[in-house]
Amino acid sequence: MRKSITQNANSMYKIIAIDDDQGVIDTLSVFLKRSGYDLTGITNPVEAIQKIRTEHFDLLILDFIMTPIHGDAVVEEIRKFNKDLYILLLTGHKDLAPPLETIRRLDIQGYCEKSDKQDQLLLLIESGIKSISQMNMIKKINTELKDTYDKLEQAYMESIETLRYTVEAKDVYTKGHSDRVSAFSVLIGQKLGLSDEDIKLLRIGGLFHDIGKIGVPDNILLKDSKLTDDEYSQIKNHPSIGAHILSNATIFADIIPIVKFHHEKFDGTGYPSRLKGEEIPYLARIATVADTFDAMTSVRPYRNALPLEIVKEEFRKLAGIQFDPEISKVFLNILENDYDKILEIQENFLS
């Protein structure tokens, strides 16, 4: 019965696959229809572009190396008229994948290598469907609210809470963590003398910064042992997934930079975009400090909370490397002179 229910839910979403190898299309068709998905397979990428232009599809599975045009050119055309389509790129080999800049520019949500084993692709599709579901809910909310300006503020907060509870139902740790990151971010913003509007964005962005974890498979998100490289790479997708989920609602536009870039590092080695220094949005740099501090001082399945003195030493050492040096300096001042406020936040929002 559970399998039947899942398959019925999957059939609500339309998937199109483009690959100039009919054998690949046939294999995908058998595999995905067995999982209950509604799949349309096309071998001619030019014809596929026209079909996507005239019909609705939720998710595209796309081969990269094709004739007469490659996958990146296909996406280039599609993005001219469809910004919402969730795209998964298939490559014959990692070395043949398009550069990161191209993937980022064309808003391709993920890619994986072709394989006889379809488990990895199925996980990516399931994650994509979860993201699409959330996007659809936000679109519905946005449509319903566009003519009700007077109620927008209340609905804004309620919609955030609804989506956040969805994530918390998957990962109990996220509840206390998101609340604390929000409160720590506000505290830092106040010490920096930011405007009321920026303080508000820090508060909401902190609550919402991990919403993209809705698209991370449960077996990875809830794993209590060390992640494999492939599993960690999927975890690292959550900022981009979160930004994609929020991108269809104008009411969320101002917090998207916090959601998407809170794992960037000041030296340019973070993710998902490897932004460096002042390329990283300022409020996201604040959220990075708050997020990392809470991670350091929280008990995890694989380690205890770090002592305060070690935490302070890490912030001194990583200023200018992981953290904006000025924001790190302000936060260290809070730890030295206003630690009672930190303790109050931690007591108010226990995990």
Q: Which residues are catalytic?
A: 213
Cβ within 8 Å of residue 210, ≥6 positions away: 167, 174, 177, 178, 238, 242
Helix (H, G, I), strand (E, B) or coil at 317: helix
As a whole number of angstroms, the distance between CA 188 and CA 181 comes to: 10
Tokens of 23: 């054998």
DSSP state of 303: B
Tokens of 8: 């019925």
Cβ within 8 Å of residue 280, ≥6 positions away: 261, 264, 266, 288, 324
Beta-bridged to residue 60, according to DSSP, are: 16, 87
Cβ within 8 Å of residue 91, ≥6 positions away: 64, 65, 97, 111, 112, 113, 114
Q: How many CB atoms lie within 10 A of CB 300?
A: 11
As a whole number of angstroms, the distance between CA 318 and CA 1 comes to: 52
